[in-house]
């Protein structure tokens, strides 16, 4: 059928003198699949800040691509690894297993970081997370330096590409965040990420025995260190920005040495927070771009008939959101700079591979909330921060302990979003696990700011009302990794304590500001279109698979998008 349709198209085109380049390309698979993820890019942000965008970046994608303007995740815990792996696998955490950035491993009897793996090590000495300077509390949870995708329980699109082409397809993931790279590279690809300890892009011996020569050469350039003494400055006159006269806000995080107003200094050479500050602004994305371009060139991606895959996750938007909020001059300027980074990337791919030969998809791992202080300025009063310290110290929980006759350790751990009960204690005391869960959940629901506390036993036995919220929590439930009670805060209520560093906002909720992300397919001769029908980012991996004629990832639940497949 396709050959016949193509022949007819050729005849029609010949008679009308229409160029047939795109139709001819459509018969062949693209040479490169470029999957761009912007960490925490809420779905409205590119259009909201459109006045600050140039040509060739977001504008190219929005004007020339298939733009899905109503894409939402349907799992409850909208955190980074959860979203990235959902993008990679086309399924929900209940199936791919990444229920949170960290979870309590009951066998190890400790919190564990999503991609830590004691069987492997980083290839670089001294590149492990520095517990003294790391500000990302989830990174600090890792107890070993090794990283691998072993905890991802289903296959990724990139895995399926490798299977389909018998490993002739080259597959890479790159990000500032290790979890942004490892997730999308899948089990078969190679991943590189930024070490704040060394300022280098690193990998583990899951992927390589030693670095490819070009990686060693890139790291020898010491590009991160070249930012020493420089500052993040505004690109335009302040009048060009929506928030041009609102730079200094008391609810923004005053990160040491970086400040709340422009220019934000990165610090001098040797400053132990220099590399951290690079990630809190657009420099982190610029480093990622430079590394990805070097990779594309040296690994000769997109240079033959077998499709290659490059996933790039840009992390700066997430950190800028946490520190300054989505409605800040810093966020607006960051989007302007990200737009230039994207334009640079697309121009480079066009030059090396050709955008007609490249299938591009851009999305995000989650959205982000507004800062309560900003909402208060607008008269929206209910926004607040939640004090988790209060959880285990209240009279209500004390009364519960008394009721069940237990001591201090009824709640073993709380790590967003799960409360972990002390199951050993519950067993030893011959208590009924379900009854304890239910009683604790009932008490938690009495807290101001708590929308729901959902017992895992209730999830297992389907004894909960069939609501959108309960479904999203069920989609997040994995029996071996989920905690005993899932805690949901009211909209605009969240925890802002990053292990001591007080941040402006934290995503992770099931509410629409955290589930809302852009999904744009472009390149490869796709015709521009805006689609407002609700879709989910789980559709992306099955769409890539369908487009390339590859079988879908093993646990995919998303549907191929007909506008991309041309159905
Ligand atoms: Zn994220």
| Rounded distance between C-alpha atoms, residue 299 and residue 216, angstroms | 14
What pLDDT sits at residue 5? 42
| H helix and E strand count, the chain | 23, 21
Q: What length is written for the chain?
A: 567
Residue 35: strand pairing partners: 311, 361
Residue 25: pLDDT band with limits 50, 70, 90? very low
Distance between Cα 318 and ligand 1 center (Å): 6
Handedness of CA 455, 458, 462, 465 (dihedral sign): negative
**pLDDT > 90? residue 3:** no
φ, ψ for residue 307 (rounded to 5)?
Answer: -65, 135
Q: Tell me the angle at which helices 283-298 and 213-220 cross, rounded to the nearest 10 degrees.
A: 150
Distance between Cα 79 and ligand 1 center (Å): 6
- Catalytic residue chosen out of the listed positions 78, 80, 198, 288: 80
**pLDDT > 50? residue 253:** yes
φ, ψ for residue 64 (rounded to 5)?
Answer: -115, -5
What pLDDT sits at residue 408? 66
Contact 87, 540 (CB under 8 A): yes
Tell me how far apart the 2 most distant CA atoms of the chain are, in Å: 87
395-427 tens-digit pLDDT: 777 777 777 777 668 888 888 999 999 999 899
**pLDDT > 70? residue 65:** yes
Instruction: Please give the share of the chain, as a percent, with pLDDT higher than 90.
Output: 80
DSSP 389: G
Range 52-77 average pLDDT: 98
Contact 515, 367 (CB under 8 A): yes
494-544 tens-digit pLDDT: 888 877 788 999 999 999 999 999 999 999 999 999 999 999 999 999 999
Residue 392: pLDDT band with limits 50, 70, 90? low
Distance between Cα 419 and ligand 1 center (Å): 22
H helix intervals, 55-133: 58-64, 80-89, 93-96
**pLDDT > 50? residue 66:** yes
Q: Which two tokens stand for residue 312?
A: 């790039």
φ, ψ for residue 320 (rounded to 5)?
Answer: -60, -40
Nearest Cα to Cα of residue 261 among 279, 274, 278, 247: 247
Using DSSP's 3-state secondary structure scheme, residue 244 falls into coil
What pLDDT sits at residue 136? 82
The secondary structure of 447-484 as a DSSP string is: STTEEEEEEHHHHHTT-S---HHHHHHHTT--TTTS-S
Distance between Cα 406 and ligand 1 center (Å): 38
Scan for tokens 């761009």, then name that residue.
36
Nearest Cα to Cα of residue 161 among 328, 22, 301, 321: 301
| Rounded distance between C-alpha atoms, residue 194 and residue 444, angstroms | 39
| Rounded distance between C-alpha atoms, residue 514 and residue 362, angstroms | 17
Give the dihedral of Cα atoms 554, 475, 93, 326; nearest 10 deg: 130
Q: Is 80 a catalytic residue?
A: yes
Using DSSP's 3-state secondary structure scheme, residue 430 falls into coil
pTM score: 0.94
The secondary structure of 515-560 as a DSSP string is: HEEEEEEEETTPPPEEE-S-B-GGGHHHHHHHHHTPPPPTT-----
Distance between Cα 85 and ligand 1 center (Å): 11
Distance between Cα 2 and ligand 1 center (Å): 40
* Lowest mean pLDDT, pick from 7-16, 39-48, 382-391: 7-16
Nearest Cα to Cα of residue 97 among 374, 372, 536, 480: 480
464-500 tens-digit pLDDT: 999 999 999 999 999 999 999 999 999 999 888 877 7
Using DSSP's 3-state secondary structure scheme, residue 241 falls into coil
């Amino acid at each position: 059928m396709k050959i016949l349709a193509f022949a007819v198209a050729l005849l029609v085109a010949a008679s009308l003198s229409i160029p047939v380049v795109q139709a001819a390309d459509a018969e062949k698979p693209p040479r490169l699949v470029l999957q761009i993820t912007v960490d925490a890019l809420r779905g409205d942000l590119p259009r909201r800040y459109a006045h600050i965008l140039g040509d060739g970046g977001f504008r190219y994608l929005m004007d020339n691509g298939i733009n899905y303007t109503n894409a939402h995740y349907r799992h409850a815990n909208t955190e980074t690894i959860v979203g990235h792996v959902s993008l990679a696998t086309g399924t929900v955490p209940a199936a791919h297993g990444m229920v949170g950035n960290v979870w309590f491993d009951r066998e190890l009897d400790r919190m564990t970081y999503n991609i830590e793996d004691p069987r492997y090590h980083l290839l670089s000495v001294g590149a492990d997370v520095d517990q003294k300077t790391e500000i990302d509390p989830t990174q600090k949870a890792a107890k070993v330096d090794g990283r691998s995708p072993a905890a991802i329980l289903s296959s990724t699109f990139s895995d399926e590409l490798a299977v389909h082409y018998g490993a002739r397809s080259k597959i890479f993931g790159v990000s500032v965040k290790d979890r942004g790279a490892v997730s999308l590279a899948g089990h078969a690809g190679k991943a590189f990420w930024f070490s704040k300890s060394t300022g280098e892009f690193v990998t583990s011996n899951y992927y390589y025995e030693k670095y490819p020569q070009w990686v060693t050469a890139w790291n020898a350039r010491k590009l991160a260190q070249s930012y020493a003494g420089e500052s993040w400055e505004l690109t335009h006159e302040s009048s060009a920005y929506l928030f041009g006269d609102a730079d200094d806000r008391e609810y923004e995080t005053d990160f040491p040495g970086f400040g709340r107003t422009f220019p934000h200094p990165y610090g001098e050479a040797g400053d132990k927070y220099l590399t951290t500050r690079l990630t809190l602004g657009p420099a982190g994305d610029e480093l990622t771009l430079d590394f990805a371009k070097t990779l594309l060139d040296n690994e000769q991606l997109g240079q033959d008939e077998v499709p290659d895959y490059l996933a790039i996750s840009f992390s700066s938007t997430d950190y800028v959101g946490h520190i300054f909020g989505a409605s800040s001059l810093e966020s607006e300027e960051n989007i302007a700079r990200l737009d230039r980074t994207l334009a640079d990337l697309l121009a480079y791919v066009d030059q090396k591979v050709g955008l007609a030969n490249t299938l591009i998809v851009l999305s995000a791992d989650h959205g982000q909330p507004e800062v309560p202080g900003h909402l208060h300025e607008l008269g929206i009063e209910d926004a607040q921060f939640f004090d988790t310290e209060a959880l285990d110290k209240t009279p209500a929980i004390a009364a519960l302990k008394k009721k069940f006759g237990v001591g201090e350790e009824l709640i073993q751990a709380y790590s967003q979003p799960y409360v972990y009960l002390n199951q050993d204690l519950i067993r030893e005391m011959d208590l009924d696990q379900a009854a304890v869960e239910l009683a604790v959940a009932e008490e938690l629901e009495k807290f101001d700011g708590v929308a729901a506390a959902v017992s895992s036993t209730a999830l297992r036995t389907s004894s909960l009302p069939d609501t959108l919220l309960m479904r999203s929590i069920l989609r997040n439930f994995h029996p071996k990794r989920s905690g005993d009670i899932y805690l949901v805060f009211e909209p605009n209520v969240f925890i802002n304590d990053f292990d001591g560093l007080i941040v402006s906002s934290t995503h992770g909720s099931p509410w629409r500001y955290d589930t809302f992300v852009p999904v744009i397919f472009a390149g490869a001769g796709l015709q521009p279109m805006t689609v407002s029908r609700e879709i989910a980012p789980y559709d992306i991996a099955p769409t890539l698979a369908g487009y390339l004629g590859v079988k879908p990832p093993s646990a995919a639940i998303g549907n191929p998008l007909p506008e991309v497949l041309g159905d």
